Amino acid sequence: MIPPDHPRYRSLVARERLASCAREGVVTPEGLAAHGRGEAFDYLIGERTTESALLAERVAAAMLLSARAPVISVNGNTAALAAGAIAGLQAASRARVEVNLFHRTEERVEKVTRLLESAGVEVLRGRAEPLLPLSHARALCLREGIFSADTVLVPLEDGDRCEALVGMGKRVIAIDLNPLSRTARAATLTVVDELTRALPNITAACREITPGEGERLMGSLDHTFFLRAALDEMRGYLEHALD
Amino acid sequence: MIPPDHPRYRSLVARERLASCAREGVVTPEGLAAHGRGEAFDYLIGERTTESALLAERVAAAMLLSARAPVISVNGNTAALAAGAIAGLQAASRARVEVNLFHRTEERVEKVTRLLESAGVEVLRGRAEPLLPLSHARALCLREGIFSADTVLVPLEDGDRCEALVGMGKRVIAIDLNPLSRTARAATLTVVDELTRALPNITAACREITPGEGERLMGSLDHTFFLRAALDEMRGYLEHALD
């Protein structure tokens, strides 16, 4: 048991939760290592939502609200850490939710789907087809889900897939703690924040912003600004870390 | 199969190796996440041995050579990634090697021991006793190993245990990619470098340095300097990363 007053309580709980989901097969070994990379970058932004990330989260909400067909693409780590938050965002944004796994087996898709459903998410089901310009199982998605979407929210996505979605003309919102990852660079908008902080912020913004504000927010979208702002936070942290 | 000319070949091979050792029970889910954190910091020093790390590796070699009873403490990740390199360092430094696991079960100790022995490491065996000032299974170590050591090399150690060893008056050499971790701060000397690069460098230095040079190197040991140098590398990387 981690004491709730531990300064890094949230981070340690997330780590335990992922390890336990790995034992159940929802999360892969590769997913655990990817989570560790995220933890390191989160540490460098002080394990809090920065001002620029909060703005990016409002822009993300505006993009989802103005979309014709928004889809949230959920992988094992996202389901393990944030099934409830996905349910909340789905309700606020009317987005479809599709399970899309890097290490895809039908058994894992089913496990992740059930985990999401038990948290109140309405998960798109159907027969996946090789519709993405990627090789093998990674090309699979649902025709009425990601394939037809104009805007896709990809929390914790890998670089190839993010680039493929952008190449198909979609607006891609990534949530990625590494502002230098291929995903972060390729996305239309990258929210550099930790998943379980970012999703509720996007949900709250979906409920708050008016159509006029949404248009202004999207007009101000400067992807590179958000990446630079995150890098500046990290540099500032490293500069004073040993003081 | 990862193509050998991939720019991040070594990093990707290490990740695959750890995932496969996790499936065998040598590496824990927590170990995978810890590896991911290390990968992120390695990325920020350019996935190469920096000049200051190379100097730290020479100091580490001098410390091992001048020790009365040097011990290398090996955990699951270290065995998975660097069993052969541990054998090389043992030969060059005459250090004892003890298996010491954070998530300790006798079954895992045996698995890690066999993995090391198959790579040519002579592993200290015996009945572990609760000799470290830590709780439960984490207090266990061998009387003729870590307990009697004056100098302990701990690649990838956790903060509590590093602090406990220092508190017992031992000289502790850590290999840790996060210069801000409790381990890195508590150790007598921290090598901020990736394990499979650091170990062969320490081994080579063990074979090269003369007793006189060893004394000079240890006289120049400034732990904070090495941590600051690593932080400066990371800041410099972040500054130019988007150029």
Q: How far is A8 from chain B (nearest CA, A)?
A: 13
What per-residue confidence (pLDDT) applies to A156? Answer: 87
User: B177: which DSSP letter?
Assistant: S
Element housing A209 (H / E):
none
Maximum mean pLDDT: which of A58-67, A99-108, B15-24: A58-67
Closest CA to A46 of A236, A179, A242: A236
What per-residue confidence (pLDDT) applies to B129? Answer: 95
Mean pLDDT of chain A: 94
d(Cα B36, Cα B191) in Å, to the nearest integer?
18
d(Cα A195, Cα A203) in Å, to the nearest integer?
12
Pairing of β B171-175 and β B189-191:
parallel
Chain B contact set for A178 (CB, 8 A)? 40, 43
Chain A contact set for B34 (CB, 8 A)? 36
Closest CA to B77 of B171, B199, B236, B160: B199
CB contact (8 A) between residue B29 and residue A29: yes
What per-residue confidence (pLDDT) applies to A164? Answer: 95
What per-residue confidence (pLDDT) applies to B211? Answer: 86
Q: Give residue A1's pLDDT band: very low, low, confident or very high (50, 70, 90).
A: low
Q: Given CB atoms, is A41 within the 8 Å cutoff of chain B?
A: yes
d(Cα B132, Cα A54) in Å, to the nearest integer?
45
* Average pLDDT of span A179-192: 96
CB contact (8 A) between residue A39 and residue B36: yes
Q: Are A28 and A103 in contact (CB under 8 A)?
A: yes
Euclidean distance between the first and final Cα of chain A, in Å? Answer: 32
**B51-72: burial string, b at 16+ Cβ within 10 Å, e else:** ebbebbbbbbbbbbbbbebbbb
What six digits make up the tokens of B88?
């090389």
Q: Are B77 and B158 in contact (CB under 8 A)?
A: no
Residue A136's contacts (CB-CB under 8 Å, 6 or more residues apart) are none
Residue A237's contacts (CB-CB under 8 Å, 6 or more residues apart) are A44, A45, A46
- Residue B156 CA: distances (Å) to CA of A88, B36, B47, B105, B177: 39, 12, 17, 19, 9
From the number of C-beta atoms within 10 Å of its C-beta (0-12, 13-18, 19+), residue A54 rates as: middle
Q: Which of residues 191-230 of A touch B (CB under 8 A)?
A: 224, 227-228
Closest CA to B81 of B175, B17, B35, B19: B17
> pLDDT in tens for each of the 243 residues of chain B?
677 877 778 888 888 899 889 888 899 988 999 999 999 999 999 999 999 999 999 999 999 999 999 999 999 999 999 999 999 999 999 999 999 998 899 999 999 999 999 999 999 999 999 999 998 888 999 999 999 999 999 998 888 999 999 999 999 999 999 999 999 999 999 999 999 999 999 999 999 999 899 999 998 889 999 999 999 999 999 998 888
- Partners of residue A73 on adjacent β-strands: A98
CB contact (8 A) between residue B40 and residue A40: yes
d(Cα B156, Cα B38) in Å, to the nearest integer?
9
* Average pLDDT of span A78-103: 96
Q: Give residue A97's pLDDT band: very low, low, confident or very high (50, 70, 90).
A: very high
Q: Is the pLDDT of residue A3 over 80?
A: no
Q: How far is A238 from chain B (nearest CA, A)?
A: 6
Chain B contact set for A228 (CB, 8 A)? 242
Q: Given CB atoms, is A18 within the 8 Å cutoff of chain B?
A: yes
Pairing of β B151-155 and β B140-141:
unpaired
Closest CA to A173 of A112, A87, A93: A93
d(Cα B59, Cα B215) in Å, to the nearest integer?
9
* Average pLDDT of span A93-107: 94
- Partners of residue A70 on adjacent β-strands: A151
Q: Give residue A236's pLDDT band: very low, low, confident or very high (50, 70, 90).
A: very high
* Average pLDDT of span A145-161: 94
What are the φ and ψ backbone dihedral angles of B99, each rounded to 5 degrees?
A: -85, 125
Q: What is the DSSP string of A48-79?
A: S--HHHHHHHHHHHHHHHH-SSEEEEE-HHHH
From the number of C-beta atoms within 10 Å of its C-beta (0-12, 13-18, 19+), residue B17 rates as: middle
Residue of A nearest to B40 (CA): A37
Pairing of β B129-130 and β B96-99:
unpaired
Nearest CB neighbour to A39, from listed B19, B37, B235: B37
Q: Which of residues 99-128 of B touch A (CB under 8 A)?
A: none
Q: Are B64 and B204 in contact (CB under 8 A)?
A: no
CB contact (8 A) between residue A19 and residue B40: no
What's the ipTM?
0.90
Q: Is the pLDDT of residue A42 over 70?
A: yes
What six digits make up the tokens of A228?
């630079």
- Note the helical H segments in B125-208: 159-167, 182-186, 195-208
